[in-house]
Amino acid sequence: MNNLFNAPDEYVQGFFKSGRAMVQAYTGLWSAAKPPTQETAVELARVSGTYWERQATLWTRSLAAGAGNEVPTVVDAERGDRRFHGELWSKNPWFNLLKQNYLLNSQLLDGVVEAADAQPREKHKLRFFSRQIADALSPANFATTNPDALFGALESKGESMQAGLSNLMEDLRRGRISITDESAFEVGTNVATSGGSVIFENELMQVIQYAPLTDKVASRPLLIVPPCINKFYILDLQPENSFVRHACEQGMTVFLVSWCNPDASLGHVTWDDYVESGVMKAIEVAHKVSKADQVNTLGWCVGGTLLSSTLALLRARGDESVASLTLLTTMLDFEEPGDLGVFVDEAGVLQRELTLGQGGIYRGAELGFVFQALRANDLIWPYVVNNYLKGKTPAAFDLLYWNADGTNLPGPMYAWYLRNMYLENNLRVPGRLSICGEPVDLGQVDVPTYILATQEDHIVPWRSAYRTTGLTGGKTEFVLGASGHIAGVINPASKNKRSYWAGGKQGADADEWLASAESTPGSWWTHWAKWLKPQAGKMVPARKKLGNATFQPIEPAPGRYVKVRAD
């Protein structure tokens, strides 16, 4: 996998190698499943009986309809499944029959997996790999079984096939599937355009201070810690959907960490380095520049885990420079890690430790492919079909441009993170984990904490995020946003889309919280701004000059670091 994206031949070989590895893992999971009990056998018989009954109905109705007539519907795609939206999937009898037969087979596979007698983690892996295999075998993914691609090729006299082959060769050269028109965007020109300056930098990160947008600002600034596995500008895409701009419009002085994109020279960097030279240093910069008594902090995803680790370390050292903590789709308890957990086991982590743990780089392209695989029917197969089978080029979309802008990780940091978070879940246990030489306890993080999860998050399941309410020591406010890991967070208040749940009775059970929570239409951004206000301090005149005598402007935002592309 290390050379997967270096050349076309290696890409193809790596693709099939990954496929074989997935099949081997899948068959291994089935081998490890317990022998069927009587209850399991009964359920399997029911699933099988239902399948054959529906197959018989499908074929009987199809034959009765006669040649040239529309095939009656026995099974239909789930709502939101866009693979079979083309008219020919319904109007053409052969392709309609093919579609319905595939859907029945997929449902049979789902039923067999659910009936399997396996432990919860193994059952989750079976579900995931079954879904990957079923998605890959969809008739929509093949030129001869996709009516839109087939008839498009006939109508264009083969031009669409020629264009598709050209697109495929170009993507093989680049080492990734094109999911947007990357030529339509440039960081600092039409994405990441909020005004400000880089006022500090070291080898690991830059600190950006954004220009105020109000005459008065809260005396306590806001420091944003984005994930180090992605570029920060997901929080500053366009002015109309920029969380950074929204915070500035609320009268906040905003500082933000822009992580470097590591190369081989930073292959030695550890989790402790990200804490001490990254988050802790950024807190110091924001504190000294603002001259405030305390700093408000916000972290997203892995950035939230890093930020929480840092606050636990600061509390262990008696430091009380942070006033509040906001966590966006962040896991601190990794007991139920969602789909990412299927890739983590002792053997896999040990292999990463042996190959990367002492030094090296985990390439952003490989990590990006893992994230795409989690949503294959959204981020892989539609582009395979459109780019290669239909010969089309993807449209320009700022969020997908960001998604394709990968970031490398230092091997020691990555291996440590896998073992201590995903595999052993050490952070949740007081005193078990030492960071920068200090045993840490999340319970000592006694500041007011705002926890946002999103209902359809496949990376940080919302019930896992809810567990944070029982870990930190301060008063917590849990909010559940609609949609997923990205769209649920980037939900601009001005568009008044989606909804969120808040105000539930907090306890040990996440579902009980949801049952008592109130649903509110619109964005959680306004709810968060109201929550933050009591922690923000008094209003003071905004300073137009950024930085101070010690931390002077180095270059305009968004800075150099965010523009470095992963190789």
**CATH at residue 425:** 3.40.50.1820
Task: Name which residue leads in pLDDT, 313 or 348.
Answer: 313
Q: In whole angstroms, what is the distance from residue 382 CA to residue 180 CA?
A: 12
Task: Name which residue leads in pLDDT, 511 or 33.
Answer: 511
Q: Is the pTM of this model over 0.85?
A: yes
Q: Is the same domain home to 213 and 341?
A: yes
Q: In whole angstroms, what is the distance from residue 105 CA to residue 134 CA?
A: 9
H/E run at residue 20: helix 8-32
Other residues' Cβ atoms within 10 Å of the Cβ of residue 83: 20
Give residue 426's identity as a one-letter amino acid code: N
Whether the per-residue pLDDT at 192 is higher than 80: the answer is: yes
Please tell me the predicted confidence (pLDDT) of residue 368: 85
pLDDT digits (tens, 9 = 90+) for 446-477: 999 999 999 999 999 999 999 999 999 999 99
The number of folded domains in the chain is 2
Please tell me the predicted confidence (pLDDT) of residue 541: 97
Q: Is the same domain home to 504 and 423?
A: yes
Flag whether 385 is in a domain.
Answer: no
The stretch 8-12 carries a mean pLDDT of 39
**Which ranges in 141-242 belong to alpha helices (H)?**
147-155, 159-174
Whether the per-residue pLDDT at 123 is higher than 50: the answer is: yes
Q: Is the same domain home to 92 and 231?
A: no
Q: Token digits for 510?
A: 């996440």
- Distances from the Cα of 527 to the Cα of 337, 501, 511, angstroms: 27, 10, 21
Whether the per-residue pLDDT at 514 is higher than 90: the answer is: yes
Please tell me the predicted confidence (pLDDT) of residue 10: 38
Q: Which of 97, 117, 139 is the C-terminal boundary of a domain?
A: 139
Is residue 559 within 8 A of residue 198, CB to CB? The reply is: yes
Flag whether 272 is in a domain.
Answer: yes
Q: Is 301 a catalytic residue?
A: yes
- DSSP per-residue codes, 465-517: HHGGGGTSSS-EEEEEESS-TTTTTS--GGGT-SEEEE----SS-HHHHHHH-
The alpha carbon of residue 188 and the mean position of all alpha carbons in its chain are separated, in whole angstroms, by 23
76-90, 270-284, 288-302, 472-486: lowest mean pLDDT where? 76-90
Count of helix runs (H) and strand runs (E) in the chain:
20, 17
Nearest residue to 198 via CA among 566, 558, 535: 558
pLDDT band at 32 (very low <50, low <70, confident <90, very high): low
Q: In whole angstroms, what is the distance from residue 410 CA to residue 273 CA?
A: 11
Q: Is the same domain home to 231 and 308?
A: yes
Q: In whole angstroms, what is the distance from residue 488 CA to residue 480 CA?
A: 9
Average pLDDT, the chain: 91
Flag whether 184 is in a domain.
Answer: no
Q: Is the same domain home to 311 and 213?
A: yes
Is residue 397 within 8 A of residue 176, CB to CB? The reply is: no
Flag whether 379 is in a domain.
Answer: no
Flag whether 513 is in a domain.
Answer: yes
Q: In whole angstroms, what is the distance from residue 533 CA to residue 428 CA?
A: 29
Q: In whole angstroms, what is the distance from residue 313 CA to residue 310 CA?
A: 5
User: In this structure, what DSSP letter does residue 565 have?
Assistant: P
Share of the chain above pLDDT 70, in %: 93
H/E run at residue 326: strand 322-328
Q: Token digits for 96?
A: 């309609």
Q: Is the same domain home to 227 and 124?
A: no
- For strand 295-300 and strand 222-225, is the pairing parallel, antiparallel, or unpaired? parallel
The alpha carbon of residue 405 and the mean position of all alpha carbons in its chain are separated, in whole angstroms, by 13
Which is it for the CA torsion 414, 415, 416, 420, positive or negative?
Answer: positive
Is residue 325 within 8 A of residue 297, CB to CB? The reply is: yes
Q: Is the same domain home to 44 and 125?
A: yes
Q: Is the same domain home to 403 and 522?
A: yes
1-5, 290-294, 443-447, 498-502: lowest mean pLDDT where? 1-5
Please tell me the predicted confidence (pLDDT) of residue 65: 74
Q: Which of 95, 118, 139 is the C-terminal boundary of a domain?
A: 139
**Angle between helices 159-174 and 147-155 in degrees, nearest 10:** 120
Please tell me the predicted confidence (pLDDT) of residue 67: 63
Q: In whole angstroms, what is the distance from residue 202 CA to residue 414 CA?
A: 20
Q: Token digits for 467?
A: 């567990």
Range of the domain at 21: 8-139
Flag whether 38 is in a domain.
Answer: yes
Q: Is the same domain home to 249 and 336?
A: yes
Q: Is the same domain home to 132 and 217?
A: no
Flag whether 165 is in a domain.
Answer: no
pLDDT band at 62 (very low <50, low <70, confident <90, very high): confident
Q: Which of 91, 123, 139 is the C-terminal boundary of a domain?
A: 139
Q: Is the same domain home to 410 and 559?
A: yes
Task: Mention every residue, 6+ apart, whose C-beta is less than 8 A from residue 412.
Answer: 267, 268, 269, 270, 271, 356, 357, 358, 359
Flag whether 410 is in a domain.
Answer: yes
pLDDT band at 14 (very low <50, low <70, confident <90, very high): very low
H/E run at residue 223: strand 222-225
Task: Mention every residue, 6+ apart, whose C-beta is less than 8 A from residue 446.
Answer: 315, 472, 473, 474
Give residue 204's identity as a one-letter amino acid code: L
Please tell me the predicted confidence (pLDDT) of residue 406: 87
Q: In whole angstroms, what is the distance from residue 282 CA to residue 130 CA?
A: 44
The alpha carbon of residue 350 and the mean position of all alpha carbons in its chain are separated, in whole angstroms, by 24
Q: Which residue has the tokens 């895409």?
A: 237
The stretch 274-280 carries a mean pLDDT of 98
Q: Is the same domain home to 118 and 261?
A: no
**327 backbone dihedrals φ, ψ, rounded to 5°:** -120, 120
Please tell me the predicted confidence (pLDDT) of residue 4: 30
Strands (E), 342-446: 361-362, 409-410, 434-435, 438-439
Which is it for the CA torsion 187, 188, 189, 194, positive or negative?
Answer: positive
pLDDT digits (tens, 9 = 90+) for 236-264: 999 999 999 999 999 999 999 999 999 99
Which among 228, 248, 260, 301 is annotated as catalytic? Answer: 301
